[in-house]
Structure 1
Amino acid sequence: MARPRKPLLSRERIVATASTLVDSEGLAAVSTRRLAAELGVSGPSLYNHFRNKDEILDAVADAVSAQIDLSMFDENDVRDWRTALHDWAVSYRSALTDHPNIVPVLAQGPGRRPAGLRVADAVFGAMVRAGWPAAQATYIGALMRYFITGSALGSFARGFVDDETAYDPADYPHLGQAHLLAERQQQVDEGAFETGLRALVDGLALQYETLRPVPRAG
């Protein structure tokens, strides 16, 4: 009986394996030697698909960008720009919080990554179609990326320990319940994100009103 053949090495297999390593052990765990060992191949064979480790991490980051829902920016979608921006931001953050270790790479911007560029293109195009000037549409895309990636880089709630003796009321009179934040991490972090997101969109809506031409007196 013939021995089973090993699956052919492909970009998809390399990216999937690298993604698993990043998710479980962080960016430092990824090296061409480690990936080759995980894939059961020789190190040089990886270079048939990627020139170096940075290209592999770029591909991992782009795979995460590809998970972001962009349907709300379709020209046939009925959502207004405010709702679309909100729904996209929620999807964007969800993709990042599912893969937090790759966020530092994504935070550098899309560069030449196809999925990342499609995200930037969709947001910019939707804002311009909604009536925002091109410069302001660019600012909105940048603003939202700063806010979303920043929210995914760390947890406010996890920054507090669950030891009630750690926050002496004599020193911190307003942190009497701070030890409870750690166990309520998801609630606190998601609530903070939603609060900030609505504040951003509402603030943009106020700016948007100033773009409308003032009716001339009859």
Structure 2
Amino acid sequence: MARPRKPLLSTDRIVTAASALVDAEGLAAVSTRRLAAELGVSGPSLYNHFRTKDEILEAVADATSAQVDLSMFDPDDDRDWRTSLHDWALAYRAVLTRHPHIVPVLAQGPGRRPAGLRLADAVFGAMVAAGWPPAQATRIGALMRYFIMGSALGSFARGFVDDEAAYDPADYPHLGQAHLLAERQEEIDEGAFETGLRALLDGLSIQYATLGD
């Protein structure tokens, strides 16, 4: 019998299947047995590509990082450092919004993940090239990660129930419209992120103006 042109299993196939599973059901749904069933292979065959489930999740996290647009940090791009950070933050959050269940793994840091390291390198390099001292460039990268990751870990608007009776004015005199928040989740959460991002960048711009003083 002729051998198949493509192998039954590959690293990319495993990561794609694991990513879909994480998106649909969360991190707890991922197991080597479940992935093997999804891929139609035997469980041990996965170990030819990944030694542990954690390695698979690391690969899913890196594949997610690889989706983030970094073009604003290219040396030939004419955006200034503030605009670059702004545009990158929006791009990063957009990716995390599409894949919220992998955020806890990403929040642990890039580790040895190639795409994650390229992301960190791009942000740090652009800030240093713009004139920020290396130590402060490191802090800016950390600050942006805290802010972006935090915004993706949960929804403020979705934290309120769609039940007017839950907000008795005798107990919560200022939450008379809180039951309406959930239906406006995207507008509220995106607006809050943009408001916070602008405030953050305004503060950094004040610091930048004093460099060299």
TM-score range, shorter chain: over 0.9
User: Could you tell me how far 1:103 is from its partner in structure 2?
Assistant: 0.4
Q: Which amino acid aligns with 1:73?
A: F
**Counterpart mapping for 1:178-189 below 5 A:** 178-189=178-189
In structure 1, runs of 5+ residues without a counterpart are 214-218
Q: Which amino acid aligns with 1:59?
A: A
Q: Which amino acid aligns with 2:91?
A: S
Q: Distance in 2 between matches of 1:108 and 1:124?
A: 18
Alignment partner of 1:64 is 2:70: no
Q: Distance in 2 between matches of 1:34 and 1:92?
A: 29
Residue of structure 1 in register with 2:37 after alignment? 37
Number of residue pairs the alignment of both structures matches = 213
Q: Distance in 2 between matches of 1:94 and 1:130?
A: 25
User: Could you tell me how far 1:8 is from its partner in structure 2?
Assistant: 2.2
Q: Distance in 1 between matches of 2:29 and 2:164?
A: 35
Q: Deviations over 1:12-47 (max 9, x none)?
A: 000000001000010000001111111111111111
Q: Distance in 2 between matches of 1:149 and 1:47?
A: 31
**Counterpart mapping for 1:43-192 below 5 A:** 43-192=43-192
Q: TM-score, normalised by structure 2?
A: 0.97
Q: Distance in 2 between matches of 1:199 and 1:187?
A: 18
Q: Structure 1 170/127 Cα, relative in aligned 2: closer, same or farther at 3 Å?
A: same
Q: Distance in 2 between matches of 1:202 and 1:15?
A: 39
Q: Which amino acid aligns with 2:60?
A: V
Q: Percent identity, please.
A: 83
Q: Distance in 1 between matches of 2:38 and 2:8?
A: 14
In structure 2, runs of 5+ residues without a counterpart are none
Q: Distance in 2 between matches of 1:210 and 1:169?
A: 48
Q: Distance in 2 between matches of 1:50 and 1:194?
A: 39
Q: TM-score, normalised by structure 1?
A: 0.95
Q: Distance in 1 between matches of 2:77 and 2:178?
A: 43
Residue of structure 1 in register with 2:193 after alignment? 193
Q: Which amino acid aligns with 2:142?
A: A
Q: Distance in 1 between matches of 2:111 and 2:67?
A: 18
Q: Which amino acid aligns with 1:158?
A: R
Q: Distance in 1 between matches of 2:165 and 2:37?
A: 47
Q: Which amino acid aligns with 2:116?
A: G
Q: Which amino acid aligns with 1:51?
A: R
Residue of structure 2 in register with 1:216 after alignment? none
Q: Which amino acid aligns with 1:128?
A: V
RMSD, matched Cα:
1.6
Q: Distance in 1 between matches of 2:31 and 2:106?
A: 18
Q: Distance in 1 between matches of 2:162 and 2:36?
A: 41
User: Could you tell me how far 1:6 is from its partner in structure 2?
Assistant: 7.9
Runs of at least 4 residues of structure 1 off by over 3 A?
Answer: 4-7
Q: Deviations over 1:121-179 (max 9, x none)?
A: 00000000000000000000000000000000000000000111110111111100000
